[in-house]
A and B are shown apart, each in its own frame.
Chain A
Amino acid sequence: MSGMLAVTITVNEKSYRREVEPRLLLSDFLRHELGLTGTHVGCEHGVCGACTILFDGESARSCLMFAVQADGHSITTVEGLAKDRDHLHPLQQSFWEAHGLQCGYCTPGILMTLIPFLKQNPDPTEDEIRHALSGNLCRCTGYQHIVDAVRLAAEKMK
């Protein structure tokens, strides 16, 4: 069974059926099989957080799962956040307004980390925000503007 396996995976509320090799990482499945390149791949060993997605609603590293494991499960990627091109999710809008990104490489992973975080903690302190971000590396911003963006988002989402 190291041959191809059939999987049916719901991504951003759309169901996809594909044949995959067992060793295909979920991150590569999203990018290469589905063309959803919003999920970024940084370290591929679970340290940088760039590939964070929602797996059945909870944040997870997509580089530390195989696509076959997502069979029958529901994934949300950064592409699933905005309603359309003109209507960003309030969290995305806040990152724009507060300059919460520079190169943008880490941003999708950070957004997908923060979606469940803000659901669980709608009015976080700076400490809590920094703690929530500890699993996501950003090498541009020094995090200050990211923290500002999260605060702004919490305001907007109230």
Chain B
Amino acid sequence: MKPAPFEYHAPDSIDKALDLLHEHGSEAKLLAGGQSLVPAMNFRVVQPGLLIDLNPIGELSFIREEGPVIRIGSMTRERHLEFDASIEKRIPLLHEAVPFIAHPQIRNRGTIGGSLVNADPAAELPVLMLALNARLRARSASGDRWIHARDFFAGMFTTALEPDEILVEIELPISSAHTGWAFMEVAPRAGDYALMGVAALVTLNKQKKCQGAKLVYLNAGDGPVEAKGAEKLLEGETLNDKLIDSAAELASGTEINPFGNIHASSDFQRHLARVLTRQALKQARQRAGMDLQ
């Protein structure tokens, strides 16, 4: 339960971190909040020869509202997302979901970038990035590139990042006033990894019909899983209960692919997805300004 020996570097700028990464290649591992990496090191599942600690790099920690987007530095703590006023106002889905991430002690250290790069299919932030159409900025010695959230997650604990790249920033479009949101999950205990969870967004047009919908699931496959068929089913339609039931049926029955674990069979996970989808869509519908009753 003690990590294997490693070299430790704590650069104070992105450029210095990139130099170290370039120099040491796959031998090196980046340390963000450490809330997933350090347990893995304690178990010796991961034994990097060298740790590049990103914590002293102040330029990676920020939340800035800029016109139609909010920009978040990759080393921004989850706890700061939770209490940020512009996120609460502009991206209420994110504000609602962050408290579901582990416990306050973990959120005090855990970072948005760390969670995204870890790409745990049971984690909340990857699901939220997909639902919110995020773009992620990666930097290497040869420059910057933007990666769409839908192209970023490449499977179980795998991302589109190259070994010499560092995730530096996340860009999130501000939610429209006609967009309703909901984040729901079921976990054995508050703060545990959820058995199933869903992020739902619905946008209504002037006729109060569904202009666009997002349904993204956690712990439902080898990454965040978007139920595109169910989203399509909702688009252009009036969001009545019957349609919501059909969307929940489609998403939970055929679009997600939960593996099951010791706490829940895959059938039970599908059941949870069906119930959560119904509840989340109804709440999102109401928050989008549509009251059927």
Contact = CB atoms under 8 A, between A and B. Distances in A.
Interface of A: 1-2, 5, 21-23, 25, 28, 44-46, 49, 52, 55, 58-61, 63-66, 68-69, 113, 116-117, 130-132, 134-135
Interface string B1-27: 111111111100000000000000000
A58 B79 CA distance: 10
Interface of B: 1-10, 34-35, 38-39, 42-43, 51, 53, 55, 79, 102-106, 108-109, 189-191
Given A46-B35, A64-B34, A22 B106 contact: no
Contacts of B191: 134-135
Contact of B190 (A23, A116, A131): A131
A126 to B, nearest CB: 14
Nearest to B4: A23
Main secondary structure of the interface of A (DSSP, over half): mixed
B189 A134 contact: yes
Contacts, number: 91
B103 A117 contact: no
B5 A64 contact: no
Given A46-B38, A69-B55, A23 B108 contact: no
A25 B2 contact: yes
A44 B42 CA distance: 7
Contacts of B103: 49, 134-135
Contact of A22 (B1, B43, B51, B108): B51
Given A64-B34, A135-B104, A45 B43 contact: yes
Contacts of B2: 23, 25, 28, 44
Contact of B104 (A21, A25, A28, A117): A117
